[in-house]
Amino acid sequence: MPASPSRSAAFDILRAVEQKDAYASELLHSERYSRLSPVDHRLATEIVMGVLRWRSVLDGEIAAHSSYNLAKLDAEMLIALRMGIYQLRFLERIPASAAVNESVELIKRARKRSAAPFANAVLRKIQKGQRVEAGIPDCKTVAELARASAHPAWLVERWAQVFGFDAAQAICQYDQRVPETAIHVADDSSATELAAEGIELAPGRLLARAKIVKSGDITKTREFLAGRVAIQDEASQLIGLLVGKGERILDCCAAPGGKTRVLAERNPRATILALELHPHRARLLKKMAPHENVEVVTADAVQFSSDHAFDRILVDAPCSGTGTLGRNPEIKWRLETPDLQDLQSRQLAILRAAMKHLASGGKLVYSTCSLEKEENAAVVEQVLSAEPGFRLVECKSELERLKDEGEFIWHDSASLLDGPYLRTIPGVHPCDGFFAAVLTRS
């Protein structure tokens, strides 16, 4: 009997993540998998994200119940076993027989029939064990926390050193939960329309124009499909608001376009130039920010030239994404320490290039969704040391401005500050992890 559509889709997505460095969330929302029924899509999403979040814990189960070294198992075998174990250990409503049998069928589907008896035997052993809660127990050491929360120890060690052990534990707990869905709502009429379509919304925690989706599928609503509301984490929305208001705005590295959208809605009379290096992401950007005052240009921000200066610039730089592991758990299994230096080199080049386009008295926001100092303060400090015509603007004053404008509503703005910088910490704050620095030109 063939595997179900949900598990077949989950297997194919996990294989693409493993072998092609694809991103699970992008595949799950791609046109190919949109044809799944709502029930199948929910199960596929649960399995894919669950396997990626708990991969090292699942691999520990395989190692404990198999005589083979994990390194000797091919990708298809590992994926099918991880899927089966995740269902057996974490999903109460899935019958054990379905978890085992369908995982074995997936191995056969991948043309690994000779390995099917081995997989069946391993899963039958694990089937006898207890289901587990997806939470993380209180831990005393970094090693315990990394093991219990399915995070690489080197990442947890870094966070404990920079933010403290309690914050590191909060980050890990946040990463292992399904994150809330936040949306950016331009006006009250959209919220009213969503309510009429059965979407239950709660107020945003950081921002007045943000809403939290408590129930209902926002992606099936008329407001979403017409582009009048967009899914966007509150910290990401806050970065767009920090840019403020201008007449000529440059948005570097703009895709997927959430921040571009915020800029366009807050600056309807401004000319906004949105740069994106990759053509396929530029097309996505046009869909996310279809506003008439936004011009999308496929270009490398480092090589971009213009005859005009800009009074507002956003540099939302490519980064490791360690502040978004709750949404992109595959990152933690790919990232290695040397990658941070490679990313920093790219970030420095983009920021230096963007600064050349800033008008006198203008404002530039440099941001990432990374928790790592190499990509954040270290980049800004290195650039400023060589550019005497620029200085930092305290993010404290920028948050006060947004509060006066009625945009920013978080009760403890001081907790979002790290010296002159903005810093949100997943689990400590109700959002993903973002960094921002505001620069101005004398």
The pLDDT, as a whole number, for residue 1 is 64
- What would the CATH number be for the domain defined by 5-127? 1.10.940.10
DSSP 384-409: HHT-TTEEEEPHHHHHHHHHHTT-B-
Helix (H), strand (E) at residue 185: strand 181-185
pLDDT in tens for each of the 442 residues of the chain?
Answer: 688 999 999 999 999 999 999 999 999 989 899 889 999 999 999 999 999 999 999 999 999 998 888 888 999 999 999 999 999 999 999 999 999 999 999 999 988 888 888 889 999 999 876 666 667 888 999 999 999 999 999 999 999 999 999 999 999 999 999 999 999 988 888 889 999 999 999 999 999 999 999 999 998 899 988 888 999 999 999 999 999 999 999 999 999 999 999 999 999 999 999 999 999 899 989 988 999 999 999 999 999 999 999 999 999 999 999 999 999 999 999 999 999 999 999 999 999 999 999 999 999 999 999 999 999 999 999 999 999 899 999 999 999 999 999 999 999 999 999 999 999 999 999 999 999 999 999 8
Q: Report the alpha-carbon distance of residue 179 to residue 432 in Å, rounded.
A: 9
319 is known as an active-site residue: no
Q: Which two tokens stand for residue 314?
A: 């956003």
The pLDDT, as a whole number, for residue 403 is 97
Domains 5-127 and 181-230 share a fold: no
Helix (H), strand (E) at residue 15: helix 5-20
Three-state DSSP class for residue 235: helix
CB contact burial 270-291 (16+ within 10 A = b; e otherwise): bebbbbbbeeebbebbbebbeb
CATH 2.60.120.430 describes domain 181-230: no
Overall pTM surpassing 0.75 (yes/no)? yes
Q: Where are the domains positioned within the chain?
A: 5-127, 142-175, 181-230, 234-441
| AA identity, residue 16 | A
Q: Report the alpha-carbon distance of residue 180 to residue 218 in Å, rounded.
A: 12
Q: Report the alpha-carbon distance of residue 343 to residue 182 in Å, rounded.
A: 28
Please, what CATH class does the domain formed by 234-441 belong to? Answer: alpha beta
Q: Report the alpha-carbon distance of residue 309 to residue 345 in Å, rounded.
A: 25
Of 139, 172, 319, 369, the active-site residue reads: 369
The pLDDT, as a whole number, for residue 127 is 87
- Return the ∠ at Cα 408 (arms to 404 and 412), rounded to 5°: 105
Q: Report the alpha-carbon distance of residue 187 to residue 278 in Å, rounded.
A: 32
Three-state DSSP class for residue 39: helix
Assess contact for 7 and 44: CB atoms under 8 A.
yes
Q: Report the alpha-carbon distance of residue 100 to residue 127 in Å, rounded.
A: 8
